Amino acid sequence: MNVILLSGGSGKRLWPLSNDVRSKQFLKLLKDESGQYQSMLQRVYSQVKQCGMADNIVIATSEAQKESTRSQLGDQVDIMVEPVRRDTFPAIALSCAELLWNKRNLPDSIVTILPVDMYVELDFFKTIQQAVDAVENNLSELVLVGVKPTFPTEKYGYIIPGGWLSDNVLSVSQFREKPTADLAKELIEQDALWNCGVFVCKLSYITDIIENQFNIHSFADLLEMYKNLPKISFDYAVVQKARSVAVVVYNNIWKDLGTWNTLAEEMTENTIGKVISAEETQNTQIINELGIPVIALGAKNMVIVANPDGILVADKEKSSFLKLYVDELELPPMYEEYAWGEYKVLGFNSHDDGSFSLVKQLFIRMGQSPSYHRHMLRDEILIFVEGTGTLLIDGHIKSISRGSKEYIKAGQMHSVRATTNLSIVEVQIGLELVEEDVIQEPYEW
């Protein structure tokens, strides 16, 4: 069976930790069985592998999040990168086209599609297997997993079931997207289920839609037309128009970890980072990624988050409205994670002569190196704070260690390879400081 993990979006409801690059699925705030911090992406990916339910696992994500995905899951993970962001239907279509037309999977092979920002236990995947069995037994062309609601909410879509097709498999009567709280209560009384965004079908079911709707018959053609595809969710484009759709029922813990309120419920520690919290502080989670302390006195039912992107102080119940305010911000990400390490922006300044300067703190993992590249619009000063490594400039190699400094002029090719874990302060100086000012060339260390 094939599994497509949907890992896109910006997760603005979890600002300031999440941004367009470091999205919510990459936040290491959950703990695994050994007590180590893990992200939503790492948790769901490991659960799928632990269940042994997938021959192929494909991560559907954006170009901006490819490096973070490899950093957390390793270089061998299969990633399908969207040329541009187009919502879940185009992303699923592209992944299925890759599996069928490029990787030559059989048209009748099963594909399970699920989001990575859900919180479930392993028994959830037994319910997915029931959905797989329903498709294999031709009970329906498309089978969803529906969760038994525990309270009426306006946050989720609802599936209204019809009659029984077999044990734990129901036909679908209709869908209702994010109803009012009063209507949600009525729907629950009618045995409606939460739509958790898990879909099971045959590969050909998706590729037939691509062929019929867009007259596309190859992966290359789909890739070329991708930017012109409509921005539409899989629910709207496919599920709610399906002629044959069924649902299996899951009656246990399922959470969409899309807001601070729901994510805080699964955090095993109330404080992370340099935090002092008084005893009278109650039901409050505090996360501090800054080097300065955060002190909380008497805070109740709150989430407090501080990092280079900003500071959030919110009542938990109000945190679901955060996106409305974050949408008004137009700030570049101040933290990014890559396969080679990570960086944080420490400061940005404009100067009287029209130039700008930006200061970053880089961490390069032992044995890793960023690409061999140059910038045309800026100079860079590298100050090596901790660790040892090798500096490459225009083909010339030199050893570096704590206290080493190097001035790299615009146009010079350069890279660093870490012999041990390496910490660097990078100062950028130029008339224009943009991430797009990068020209890469291959280099074998």
Domains held by the chain: number: 3
Give the tokens for residue 391.
């500096």
Cα–Cα distance between 159 and 178 in angstroms, integer?
11
Evaluate whether 402 touches 387 at the Cβ level (below 8 Å).
yes
Closest CA to 373 of 444, 443, 441: 441
3-state secondary structure of 83: coil
Determine the structural domain holding residue 294 and report its residue range: 267-326
Cα–Cα distance between 248 and 391 in angstroms, integer?
56
Same domain, 246 and 118: yes
Reported confidence tier of residue 339, pLDDT bands at 50, 70, 90: confident
Same domain, 256 and 271: no
Reported confidence tier of residue 106, pLDDT bands at 50, 70, 90: very high
Evaluate whether 317 touches 265 at the Cβ level (below 8 Å).
no
What average pLDDT does the chain have? 93
**Which residue matches tokens 């409801």?**
13
Residue 332 lies in a domain: no
pLDDT in tens, 229-264: 999 999 999 999 999 999 999 999 999 888 899 899
Residue 332 pLDDT > 80: no
Element (H, E) at 214: helix 203-214
Q: How far is CA 41 from the centre of its chain?
A: 7
Give the end of a domain, one of 284, 302, 326: 326
Taking residue 93's Cβ as centre, other Cβ atoms within 10 Å add up to 25
Cα–Cα distance between 68 and 39 in angstroms, integer?
11
Closest CA to 205 of 238, 230, 174, 170: 238
List, as one string, the DSSP characters of 270-308: SEESSEEE-TT-BS-EEEE-SSS-EEESS-BSEEEEEET
Residue 320 pLDDT > 90: no
Evaluate whether 430 touches 410 at the Cβ level (below 8 Å).
yes
Q: What is the pLDDT of residue 23?
A: 85
Q: Please state the rounded mean pLDDT for residues 275-303.
A: 94
Give the end of a domain, one of 326, 355, 377: 326
Q: What is the CATH number of the domain that holds 100?
A: 3.90.550.10
Angle (CA) 305 25 56, round 5°? 165
Taking residue 295's Cβ as centre, other Cβ atoms within 10 Å add up to 12
Total residues found in the chain within this entry: 445
Same domain, 27 and 116: yes
Q: What is the pLDDT of residue 73?
A: 93
Same domain, 213 and 315: no
Give the end of a domain, one of 239, 260, 281: 260
Same domain, 7 and 134: yes
Same domain, 6 and 153: yes
Give the tokens for residue 14.
């979890």
Closest CA to 133 of 166, 174, 93, 95: 166
Q: Please state the rounded mean pLDDT for residues 276-294.
A: 93
Compute the CA torsion angle 142, 112, 238, 182 (nearest 10 deg): 90
Cα–Cα distance between 433 and 86 in angstroms, integer?
28
Q: Please state the rounded mean pLDDT for residues 17-46.
A: 90
CA-atom Rg of the chain in angstroms = 24
pLDDT in tens, 137-182: 999 999 999 999 999 988 899 999 999 999 889 999 999 988 998 9
Q: What is the pLDDT of residue 377?
A: 96
Residue 227 lies in a domain: yes
Same domain, 313 and 394: no
Residue 335 lies in a domain: no
Element (H, E) at 208: helix 203-214
Q: What is the pTM of this model?
A: 0.84
Q: What is the pLDDT of residue 327?
A: 85
pLDDT in tens, 182-229: 999 999 999 999 999 999 999 999 999 999 999 999 999 999 999 999
pLDDT in tens, 349-370: 999 999 999 999 999 999 999 9
Residue 19 lies in a domain: yes
Residue 333 lies in a domain: no
Cα–Cα distance between 363 and 423 in angstroms, integer?
5
Query: Under 8 Å CB-to-CB from 226, ≥6 apart: which residues?
Result: 82, 83, 84, 86, 90, 94
Alpha helices in 52-106 (DSSP H): 66-73, 88-97
The phi and psi torsions of 76 (rounded to 5 degrees) equal -85, -5
Same domain, 240 and 311: no
Reported confidence tier of residue 389, pLDDT bands at 50, 70, 90: very high
The percent of residues above 90 in pLDDT, for the chain, comes to 78
Q: What is the pLDDT of residue 308?
A: 85
Of the chain, the end-to-end C-alpha distance in Å amounts to 38
Q: What is the pLDDT of residue 439?
A: 95
List, as one string, the DSSP characters of 159-198: EEEEEEEETTEEEEEEEE-S--HHHHHHHHHTT-EEEEEE
Q: Are strands 302-307 and 78-82 parallel, antiparallel or unpaired?
A: unpaired
The phi and psi torsions of 128 (rounded to 5 degrees) equal -60, -40
